[in-house]
Structure 1
Amino acid sequence: MKKYIVYIAILLVGLLLGYLFFGNTKDVNTHTAESATVHNHKDENQVQMWTCSMHPQIMQPEPGDCPICGMELIPAETDAAGLSVDQFKLSENALALANVQTSVVGDGQVEGGVLKLSGKIEENQEDNSVQSSYFSGRIEKLNINFIGEKVNRGQLLATIYAPELVSAQQELITAASLKESQPKLYQAVRNKLKLWKLSEKQIDDIEHSGKVKENFPVYATVSGTVSEKLVSEGDYVKQGQPLLKIANLNTVWAMFDAYENQISQLKVGQEIKVTTNAYPNKDFDAKISFIEPTLATAKRTVGVRAELNNKDGILKPGMFVEGKISGVSSKQENAMLIPKSAVLWTGVRSVVYVKPDSAEPIFEMREVSLGATTNDSYEIISGLRPGEEIVTNGSFTVDAAAQLQGKTSMMNHTGPLEKESTSGTTETVQMKMDLPEAFQKEFLPIIDSYMDLKDAFVTSEVKAVKPKAETMLKQLKSIETKTLHKMEKGHLFRIKDMLVAITESNNIENQRDHFIILSENITAIANNIKVLPQAVYVVKCPMANSNKGAIWLSHSPEVHNPYYGDAMLSCGSVIDTLK
């Protein structure tokens, strides 16, 4: 009986403890269920989309398999509150891991009356010298082991076995015994050895010893740094052959690129402050010493040179530098430049990522039109405004985030000249331009010349392409452009730039790469000509441009592919007609 009483007591104690510890579970579960109900009710207005991790451009309203690769679709991230359709947000951790960096776009390179130029440090060519061999022979020993080694004037550079000097020494020894009776002969022999850069002491040693030397030293005639090593030990060299190139880096050149619209603000003798990435807090004072007389056609820039003191050796050839010139007027229209690292290429488009709010990690893609290029910058023709903040480092990471969130990105956005029609086919987009009637009439022969150039590409012969490109370029240069806006001028510039590149190239594939960009820009202009004498067909080959697709214009709907010629003559289809 006592045993049962103990069991009952233990049971009662257990029930009491259970109530004390778990008595509120029902309330908690009820509260959690209610919260979940509220949460689910809140999400009812959001449509869950599904995407492919390999093909983020695929967006479907229900789960399933990717129609491209067959992989199972995953839930796409939903929109953050307060963001527009094309905007997306990244976490602070993602920004830090990807090292995403941004910068503010400036209106050209003139800020507060200061003109900024980008450039590089180069060797001072006026102080460069070549160390040559003054006699023929074989290099027995070379004392210079690597490029960058410093040498001093009078330093032993190499030892050379010189057969010619062996006979000349024998002549000296013989003439020395006759110098009393034939002094002129003796002096002539000594002068002959001096022409081989032998010193008076070397000649006296040969004469007094009466012994012929087979190996002769070569001494440095200047001090500096070895910039190029032209021979190796054991090489045979001829008289006057260069052995080493020696650069005196006590002074260096800062070479800058200036655009056409900046040339009028530059002059020789103008003071310029130079800064480098290596020493961002140190300014180097210099003056413009030379402005190149010709324009680089590929970059549309002029070289500007400034000489810098470099006795401490801290400025290294190849360093990127920035020059600032004060007191420059900013009234005229200046080029808007952005770093090359900010631009993503998609074949037919150039895009950047903009940060609308500097305080928030929010981004959106923006398509831009590019103009001229320098070493590390692109000129922006359209698509950005001064003061906007753009991604300059980590652009690919930001684009990947946009793809995974189903936002507009490189992968899921059509080109500037294309859009999807309701029927599922592609047609060109009308890029609005305000073209003067006089310009439209002048541009019609350019379209005809373009057609001739296109036909030349169909033949796949460089000799046929070059004359057509030269003709088109000559016509284009004669067109009046003063009345055009910046965007229209930008398209013309790209056309000219591509034509110049085509005329300078001897490789048909390289020429075709330039023809892709030329066709995009001429199509944009042709789209805005109100009256065309005959229909112009926009044709696209999906396999051209590394399977990214490329367009061209034609007067005939029959496809003759300029990007492949006879290899795939009929590859392509008409995507639009300009009437």
Structure 2
Amino acid sequence: MKNNKIFIYIGLLAAGVLLGWLFFGNSSEEKTEHQHDEVAETNQMWTCSMHPQIMQPEPGDCPICGMDLIPAESGDDGLSVNEIKMTKNAMALANIQTSIVGNSVGENGNTTSLSGKIVKNEEGNFVQASYFDGRIERLNVNYEGQEVRKGQLLATIYSPNLVAAQQELLTTASLKESQPALYKSVRNKLKNWKLSEKQINSIEESGKVREFFPIYATVSGTVSEKMLNEGDYVKQGQPILKLNNLSTVWAEFDAYENQISQFKKGQKIKIKTNAYPEKEFEATISFINPLLNTQTRIVTVRATINNKDNLLKPGMFVSGQVEGVDSSKEKLLIVPASAVMWTGERSLVYVKTNPDQPTFEMREVTIGNRNGETYMITGGLDNGDEIVTHGTFTVDAAAQLQNKKSMMNQDGGKTTTAHDHHKATSSHSSENTSAYTKTNKRFEVPQTFQKQLNKVYKNYIDLKDALVQDNTAKATEDAKALLNNSSQVDMTLVKGEAHENWMSLSKEIKASATAISETSDLEEQRKYFRDLSLHFIKAVQIFGVNEKVYVEFCPMADSYEGAYWLSQDEKVINPYFGDAMLTCGEVKEIIE
């Protein structure tokens, strides 16, 4: 019995030891792992999906845009100096999309996009003149734009010469048997003054002299200019009205030098206008200017359009799609237009450098013709490269904030961190100044030119403030003022390279301002304001205005593609969201 109890105690002791090891040994390991996790969590950094330069040791709100911070991904080791890596969350939030560049064979189905405007068909211009001296007693056409039909009474004129000629007719009528030659010469004189046989016979039969004579329209058309008024004296052959037949009009397009070979007379072109967005007009290329504008490197391509319904008005902006002809079947690299960022001097894309990781690097490319919503790439990319096709501006913003090459900073600049964010957005670093000077050549221009540009800049600021206030009517008014003042900038004041830069920028600025002035949709106005800002920033960078200017950027604007704007104040007030996100954004540059 005693031995049995000993074995029982030994068994219980062994069982206790085993259970203790199972529970406490495992618990010790779990504790060790837990401690390791705590260390890992302690080392976890938190960042903003839209502002990846923000790094904080604990979760919270982004000090720039107020969004919730997310865990920062590790593993950026091994990146080249100008590669950036974005988080998967940032990629998803900004809807960044990529596609692989592939070869495309140019075929007759390709189209080239052109911008232009409707102008009068000069072949349909007519002048309605007076065929005898006199005084205009009554003018039946009162305003420009009035429709006139052939045979319509235009004016009534008192003519002393015509009164005397009628007296001659009545005198020679009684002598027509004895002096037929004299009688015939008097009738011919009246015919030369455009009196009809019926009118001459009526005078002769009545035996009375008429004091006032009518002038009838010899053609149909629209009054483009009224040359005289009632009571004015007119000489023989002097114009009274200018008429234009708008049953056909011209669409004049600007074609760049590298596009000329694609066009020929007789080609069909499909035309659209903002006035009738759902309607497409078909025209035929009727003229290609044989002279190249040596300053703008542009050739005028003209198409004739049938305008029998009078829908198209001279001055309307239009876009054209011309079917391309490429008999060489040359293989070309085609990319979406949304993939290319244009600074005025460089064309840039972002290439994905690691197929398994969201890492990107800016690359400069050479672009060819634009065909619809695509660009031909003639240099800088290879077949099989993967590039960003949507969200390019967001990637560029991340590159700027991580001290990488970017659209606004070719050589990289000083990185902003969470600790010195306020400092970075309230002062202009010497590194950024150096990069700005390298990247953007400043031209010396006359004071007069700079003052004229300053007026346009004031209109731009007014337009920006109107969009901040969601005031579409004010935005339309300010865009028209900007358009008017930009047209009054005397481009002859600048020469050479500066002249070419202003010509190019001025065209884009006017196009964007016109688009803003022609719509009352707030989102449309903001979309065109983004394009206006990109070109206006360039203009201010290279020509300057008479004050300090802040270049500001919001990465969330334009469906997370990001957008820039100019401000007189360092404080960020966002024109792309208004009250919805009034302070979203940051200062990117200060232009002295």
TM-score by length of 1: 0.47
TM-score by length of 2: 0.47
